[in-house]
Amino acid sequence: MSAPQLVPNQPVKGVLLLCVAVFLFASVDGLAKYLSAFYPVALVVWARYCVHTLLMAVAFLPQYRLEVLRTRQPLLQLARALSLLAVSLLFTTGLLFMPLAEQTAVLFIAPILITVYSALFLAEKIRAGQWLAVGAGFVGVLIIVRPGGALFTPAALFPLGAAACFSCYQLLTRKISETDSPVTSNFLTGLINSLVMSCGLVFFWQEPSVSHVVLMLALGSCGMCGHLLLTHSFRYATPAVLAPISYAQIVFAGLLGALFFAHTPDPWALAGMLVIGLSGLAIALSKRT
Protein backbone atom coordinates (compact mmCIF):
# COMPACT_ATOMS: atom_id res chain seq x y z
CA MET A 1 0.00 0.00 0.00
CA SER A 2 1.42 3.36 -0.98
CA ALA A 3 1.20 6.55 1.03
CA PRO A 4 -2.03 8.49 0.47
CA GLN A 5 -2.01 11.78 -1.38
CA LEU A 6 -2.30 14.97 0.65
CA VAL A 7 -5.62 16.78 0.57
CA PRO A 8 -4.89 20.53 0.47
CA ASN A 9 -6.78 23.46 1.99
CA GLN A 10 -8.65 21.57 4.70
CA PRO A 11 -6.76 22.59 7.87
CA VAL A 12 -9.90 22.65 10.03
CA LYS A 13 -10.54 18.99 9.29
CA GLY A 14 -6.94 18.16 10.17
CA VAL A 15 -7.19 20.08 13.45
CA LEU A 16 -10.43 18.34 14.43
CA LEU A 17 -8.99 14.91 13.67
CA LEU A 18 -5.93 15.68 15.78
CA CYS A 19 -8.03 16.96 18.68
CA VAL A 20 -9.90 13.66 18.81
CA ALA A 21 -6.62 11.74 18.44
CA VAL A 22 -4.90 13.44 21.37
CA PHE A 23 -7.98 12.97 23.55
CA LEU A 24 -7.84 9.26 22.75
CA PHE A 25 -4.12 9.18 23.59
CA ALA A 26 -4.81 10.82 26.95
CA SER A 27 -7.55 8.24 27.51
CA VAL A 28 -5.10 5.42 26.71
CA ASP A 29 -2.70 6.79 29.32
CA GLY A 30 -5.48 7.14 31.89
CA LEU A 31 -6.66 3.56 31.30
CA ALA A 32 -3.09 2.28 31.45
CA LYS A 33 -2.51 4.08 34.75
CA TYR A 34 -5.64 2.55 36.23
CA LEU A 35 -4.98 -1.00 34.96
CA SER A 36 -1.30 -0.98 35.95
CA ALA A 37 -2.41 -0.66 39.57
CA PHE A 38 -3.86 -4.19 39.27
CA TYR A 39 -1.67 -5.93 36.67
CA PRO A 40 1.97 -6.01 35.55
CA VAL A 41 2.87 -3.21 33.17
CA ALA A 42 3.92 -5.77 30.55
CA LEU A 43 0.44 -7.33 30.60
CA VAL A 44 -1.24 -3.96 30.14
CA VAL A 45 1.03 -3.12 27.20
CA TRP A 46 0.54 -6.60 25.70
CA ALA A 47 -3.24 -6.18 25.88
CA ARG A 48 -3.05 -2.79 24.22
CA TYR A 49 -1.17 -4.03 21.17
CA CYS A 50 -3.05 -7.31 20.84
CA VAL A 51 -6.41 -5.51 20.79
CA HIS A 52 -4.94 -2.93 18.40
CA THR A 53 -3.80 -5.67 16.00
CA LEU A 54 -7.02 -7.69 16.15
CA LEU A 55 -9.19 -4.65 15.46
CA MET A 56 -7.05 -3.58 12.53
CA ALA A 57 -7.13 -7.11 11.13
CA VAL A 58 -10.93 -7.14 11.31
CA ALA A 59 -11.20 -3.67 9.81
CA PHE A 60 -8.66 -3.87 6.99
CA LEU A 61 -7.70 -7.46 6.09
CA PRO A 62 -11.00 -8.19 4.28
CA GLN A 63 -10.40 -5.20 2.01
CA TYR A 64 -6.63 -5.16 1.57
CA ARG A 65 -5.73 -8.80 2.41
CA LEU A 66 -1.98 -9.34 2.62
CA GLU A 67 -1.36 -6.07 0.79
CA VAL A 68 -1.67 -4.40 4.20
CA LEU A 69 1.66 -5.99 5.14
CA ARG A 70 3.51 -4.68 2.10
CA THR A 71 6.12 -2.10 3.04
CA ARG A 72 8.98 -0.56 1.15
CA GLN A 73 10.97 0.05 4.34
CA PRO A 74 10.76 -3.07 6.54
CA LEU A 75 13.73 -2.21 8.76
CA LEU A 76 12.42 1.27 9.45
CA GLN A 77 8.99 -0.19 10.21
CA LEU A 78 10.60 -2.55 12.72
CA ALA A 79 12.52 0.30 14.33
CA ARG A 80 9.37 2.44 14.43
CA ALA A 81 7.35 -0.30 16.13
CA LEU A 82 10.03 -1.01 18.73
CA SER A 83 10.39 2.71 19.44
CA LEU A 84 6.67 2.94 20.23
CA LEU A 85 6.85 -0.23 22.32
CA ALA A 86 9.63 1.34 24.38
CA VAL A 87 7.49 4.46 24.82
CA SER A 88 4.58 2.34 26.06
CA LEU A 89 6.67 0.35 28.53
CA LEU A 90 8.55 3.35 29.91
CA PHE A 91 5.56 5.67 30.09
CA THR A 92 3.23 3.11 31.67
CA THR A 93 5.87 2.21 34.23
CA GLY A 94 6.32 5.87 35.05
CA LEU A 95 2.59 6.21 35.67
CA LEU A 96 3.06 4.02 38.72
CA PHE A 97 5.12 6.80 40.29
CA MET A 98 4.06 10.10 38.69
CA PRO A 99 0.72 11.86 38.10
CA LEU A 100 -0.79 11.63 34.63
CA ALA A 101 -0.64 15.31 33.66
CA GLU A 102 2.93 15.91 34.83
CA GLN A 103 4.23 12.83 33.09
CA THR A 104 2.40 13.71 29.88
CA ALA A 105 4.00 17.16 29.97
CA VAL A 106 7.47 15.64 30.30
CA LEU A 107 6.71 13.37 27.33
CA PHE A 108 6.08 16.49 25.28
CA ILE A 109 9.72 17.43 25.25
CA ALA A 110 9.84 14.95 22.33
CA PRO A 111 9.43 17.73 19.70
CA ILE A 112 12.27 19.55 21.43
CA LEU A 113 14.43 16.43 21.34
CA ILE A 114 13.69 16.09 17.62
CA THR A 115 15.42 19.43 17.12
CA VAL A 116 18.46 18.09 18.99
CA TYR A 117 18.45 14.86 16.98
CA SER A 118 18.16 16.80 13.72
CA ALA A 119 21.27 18.76 14.61
CA LEU A 120 23.29 15.77 15.82
CA PHE A 121 22.31 13.09 13.32
CA LEU A 122 20.80 14.85 10.29
CA ALA A 123 23.25 17.75 10.17
CA GLU A 124 20.40 20.26 10.04
CA LYS A 125 21.24 23.87 10.84
CA ILE A 126 19.47 24.96 14.03
CA ARG A 127 18.98 28.65 14.70
CA ALA A 128 19.96 30.32 17.93
CA GLY A 129 16.31 30.93 18.79
CA GLN A 130 15.56 27.23 18.36
CA TRP A 131 18.40 26.32 20.73
CA LEU A 132 16.97 28.78 23.26
CA ALA A 133 13.60 27.03 22.95
CA VAL A 134 15.32 23.66 23.49
CA GLY A 135 16.95 24.98 26.65
CA ALA A 136 13.67 26.44 27.87
CA GLY A 137 11.96 23.09 27.34
CA PHE A 138 14.44 21.35 29.61
CA VAL A 139 13.98 24.12 32.17
CA GLY A 140 10.27 23.33 32.05
CA VAL A 141 11.02 19.70 32.89
CA LEU A 142 13.16 20.81 35.84
CA ILE A 143 10.33 23.00 37.10
CA ILE A 144 7.96 20.01 37.07
CA VAL A 145 10.41 17.58 38.74
CA ARG A 146 12.14 20.36 40.67
CA PRO A 147 14.97 19.37 43.03
CA GLY A 148 13.58 18.87 46.49
CA GLY A 149 10.08 18.27 45.16
CA ALA A 150 8.08 15.07 45.50
CA LEU A 151 8.63 14.18 41.82
CA PHE A 152 12.42 14.58 41.94
CA THR A 153 13.14 10.86 42.08
CA PRO A 154 14.73 8.31 39.71
CA ALA A 155 11.18 7.61 38.48
CA ALA A 156 11.39 10.86 36.48
CA LEU A 157 13.74 9.02 34.14
CA PHE A 158 10.82 6.94 32.86
CA PRO A 159 8.98 9.80 31.09
CA LEU A 160 12.31 11.27 29.96
CA GLY A 161 13.25 7.93 28.40
CA ALA A 162 9.79 7.69 26.87
CA ALA A 163 10.22 11.16 25.36
CA ALA A 164 13.57 10.17 23.82
CA CYS A 165 12.00 7.06 22.26
CA PHE A 166 8.91 8.99 21.16
CA SER A 167 11.03 11.51 19.28
CA CYS A 168 12.67 8.59 17.42
CA TYR A 169 9.21 7.22 16.66
CA GLN A 170 8.09 10.57 15.24
CA LEU A 171 11.17 10.92 13.04
CA LEU A 172 10.70 7.39 11.70
CA THR A 173 6.99 8.01 11.11
CA ARG A 174 7.83 11.11 9.09
CA LYS A 175 10.28 9.12 6.94
CA ILE A 176 8.04 6.08 6.45
CA SER A 177 5.00 8.20 5.54
CA GLU A 178 6.76 9.06 2.27
CA THR A 179 6.28 5.49 0.99
CA ASP A 180 3.87 3.52 3.21
CA SER A 181 0.23 4.12 4.06
CA PRO A 182 -0.98 4.86 7.59
CA VAL A 183 -2.89 1.56 7.58
CA THR A 184 0.23 -0.45 6.80
CA SER A 185 2.36 1.42 9.34
CA ASN A 186 -0.15 1.09 12.16
CA PHE A 187 -0.97 -2.55 11.41
CA LEU A 188 2.71 -3.51 11.34
CA THR A 189 3.34 -1.61 14.58
CA GLY A 190 0.58 -3.47 16.36
CA LEU A 191 1.58 -6.84 14.90
CA ILE A 192 5.29 -6.51 15.69
CA ASN A 193 4.71 -5.30 19.23
CA SER A 194 2.07 -7.97 19.90
CA LEU A 195 4.51 -10.68 18.82
CA VAL A 196 7.36 -9.22 20.87
CA MET A 197 5.28 -8.93 24.03
CA SER A 198 3.71 -12.36 23.53
CA CYS A 199 7.15 -13.94 23.74
CA GLY A 200 7.24 -13.16 27.46
CA LEU A 201 3.55 -13.67 28.21
CA VAL A 202 4.18 -16.75 30.35
CA PHE A 203 6.25 -14.64 32.75
CA PHE A 204 3.71 -11.89 33.38
CA TRP A 205 0.30 -13.46 32.70
CA GLN A 206 -2.39 -12.72 35.25
CA GLU A 207 -6.03 -13.50 34.52
CA PRO A 208 -8.01 -10.24 34.39
CA SER A 209 -11.53 -9.76 35.67
CA VAL A 210 -14.40 -9.30 33.22
CA SER A 211 -14.63 -5.56 33.89
CA HIS A 212 -10.91 -5.15 33.36
CA VAL A 213 -11.09 -7.09 30.09
CA VAL A 214 -13.56 -4.45 28.91
CA LEU A 215 -11.12 -1.71 29.91
CA MET A 216 -8.29 -3.50 28.09
CA LEU A 217 -10.46 -3.64 24.97
CA ALA A 218 -11.06 0.10 25.34
CA LEU A 219 -7.33 0.65 25.82
CA GLY A 220 -6.44 -1.03 22.54
CA SER A 221 -9.36 0.53 20.68
CA CYS A 222 -8.47 4.06 21.76
CA GLY A 223 -4.83 3.49 20.84
CA MET A 224 -5.64 2.16 17.37
CA CYS A 225 -8.17 4.88 16.56
CA GLY A 226 -5.87 7.59 17.92
CA HIS A 227 -2.94 6.57 15.74
CA LEU A 228 -5.10 6.30 12.62
CA LEU A 229 -6.63 9.72 13.23
CA LEU A 230 -3.19 11.18 13.92
CA THR A 231 -1.74 9.94 10.65
CA HIS A 232 -4.82 11.00 8.66
CA SER A 233 -4.77 14.48 10.20
CA PHE A 234 -1.50 15.17 8.38
CA ARG A 235 -3.32 14.64 5.07
CA TYR A 236 -5.34 17.80 5.67
CA ALA A 237 -2.99 20.16 7.50
CA THR A 238 0.73 20.79 7.72
CA PRO A 239 2.82 19.78 10.76
CA ALA A 240 3.33 23.47 11.56
CA VAL A 241 -0.45 23.98 11.82
CA LEU A 242 -1.01 20.80 13.83
CA ALA A 243 1.92 21.08 16.24
CA PRO A 244 0.20 23.54 18.62
CA ILE A 245 -2.92 21.32 18.76
CA SER A 246 -0.95 18.30 19.94
CA TYR A 247 -0.29 20.05 23.26
CA ALA A 248 -4.00 19.75 24.04
CA GLN A 249 -3.11 16.25 25.22
CA ILE A 250 -1.55 17.80 28.33
CA VAL A 251 -4.84 19.57 29.05
CA PHE A 252 -6.84 16.38 28.49
CA ALA A 253 -4.44 14.46 30.74
CA GLY A 254 -4.90 17.06 33.46
CA LEU A 255 -8.68 16.83 33.21
CA LEU A 256 -8.66 13.03 33.32
CA GLY A 257 -6.23 13.08 36.24
CA ALA A 258 -8.52 15.42 38.16
CA LEU A 259 -11.70 13.48 37.34
CA PHE A 260 -10.51 9.93 37.88
CA PHE A 261 -7.38 10.13 40.03
CA ALA A 262 -8.23 13.14 42.21
CA HIS A 263 -4.99 14.90 41.29
CA THR A 264 -4.61 18.53 40.26
CA PRO A 265 -1.16 19.80 39.26
CA ASP A 266 0.29 22.36 41.68
CA PRO A 267 1.27 25.86 40.47
CA TRP A 268 4.89 24.84 39.88
CA ALA A 269 3.83 21.89 37.72
CA LEU A 270 1.45 24.11 35.76
CA ALA A 271 4.26 26.60 35.20
CA GLY A 272 6.54 23.83 33.93
CA MET A 273 3.84 22.55 31.58
CA LEU A 274 3.38 26.06 30.21
CA VAL A 275 7.13 26.46 29.62
CA ILE A 276 7.33 23.10 27.80
CA GLY A 277 4.29 23.96 25.69
CA LEU A 278 5.59 27.39 24.73
CA SER A 279 9.02 25.96 23.91
CA GLY A 280 7.51 23.36 21.62
CA LEU A 281 5.31 25.95 19.95
CA ALA A 282 8.30 28.25 19.42
CA ILE A 283 10.17 25.46 17.64
CA ALA A 284 7.12 24.60 15.51
CA LEU A 285 6.56 28.23 14.54
CA SER A 286 10.22 28.74 13.71
CA LYS A 287 10.01 25.94 11.14
CA ARG A 288 7.25 27.76 9.28
CA THR A 289 9.63 30.49 8.20
pLDDT at 48: 96
Taking the C-alpha atoms of residue 96 and residue 132, their distance in angstroms, rounded to an integer, is 32
> Is 275 in contact with 139 (CB distance < 8 Å)?
yes
Task: Provide CB contacts within 8 A for 93, sequence distance 6+.
Answer: 36, 41, 158
- The verdict on residue 55 lying in a domain is yes
User: In angstroms, what is the C-alpha Rg of the chain?
Assistant: 18
Specify the number of domains making up the chain: 1
Whether residue 288 is predicted with pLDDT greater than 60 in this model: the reply is: no
Taking the C-alpha atoms of residue 77 and residue 64, their distance in angstroms, rounded to an integer, is 19
> Is 216 in contact with 51 (CB distance < 8 Å)?
yes
- The verdict on residue 1 lying in a domain is no
> Is 187 in contact with 60 (CB distance < 8 Å)?
yes
Tell me the DSSP string of 113-180: HHHHHHHHHS-----HHHHHHHHHHHHHHHHHT-TTSTT-SGGGHHHHHHHHHHHHHHHHHHHHTTTB
pLDDT at 142: 76
pLDDT tens digits, residue range 12-39?
888 899 899 999 999 999 999 999 999 9
pLDDT at 87: 95
Q: Which of 49-53, 120-124, 184-188, 230-234 has the lowest mean pLDDT?
A: 120-124
- Give mean pLDDT, residues 44-49: 97
φ, ψ for residue 265, nearest 5 deg: -55, 140
Q: Which of 128-142, 170-184, 205-219 has the lowest mean pLDDT?
A: 128-142
pLDDT at 47: 97
Whether residue 208 is predicted with pLDDT greater than 90 in this model: the reply is: yes
- The verdict on residue 121 lying in a domain is yes
User: Residue 58 corresponds to which amino acid?
Assistant: V
Whether residue 245 is predicted with pLDDT greater than 80 in this model: the reply is: no
Q: How many helices (H) and strands (E) does the chain have?
A: 13, 0
Task: Provide CB contacts within 8 A for 286, sequence distance 6+.
Answer: 127, 129, 130, 133
- The number of residues in the chain equals 289
User: Looking at residue 95, what DSSP letter applies?
Assistant: T
Whether residue 287 is predicted with pLDDT greater than 70 in this model: the reply is: no
Q: How many CB atoms lie within 10 A of CB 5?
A: 7
pTM (predicted TM-score)? 0.86
- The verdict on residue 3 lying in a domain is no
pLDDT at 40: 97
Whether residue 289 is predicted with pLDDT greater than 60 in this model: the reply is: no
- The verdict on residue 170 lying in a domain is yes
pLDDT at 229: 87
pLDDT at 149: 61
- The verdict on residue 268 lying in a domain is yes
Taking the C-alpha atoms of residue 250 and residue 106, their distance in angstroms, rounded to an integer, is 9
In the structure, what pLDDT confidence band is assigned to residue 233 with cuts at 50, 70 and 90? confident
Taking the C-alpha atoms of residue 210 and residue 277, their distance in angstroms, rounded to an integer, is 39
In the structure, what pLDDT confidence band is assigned to residue 286 with cuts at 50, 70 and 90? low
Domain around 113: 12-286
User: Looking at residue 208, what DSSP letter applies?
Assistant: P
pLDDT at 43: 97
47 vs 264, higher pLDDT: 47
- The verdict on residue 2 lying in a domain is no
- The verdict on residue 272 lying in a domain is yes
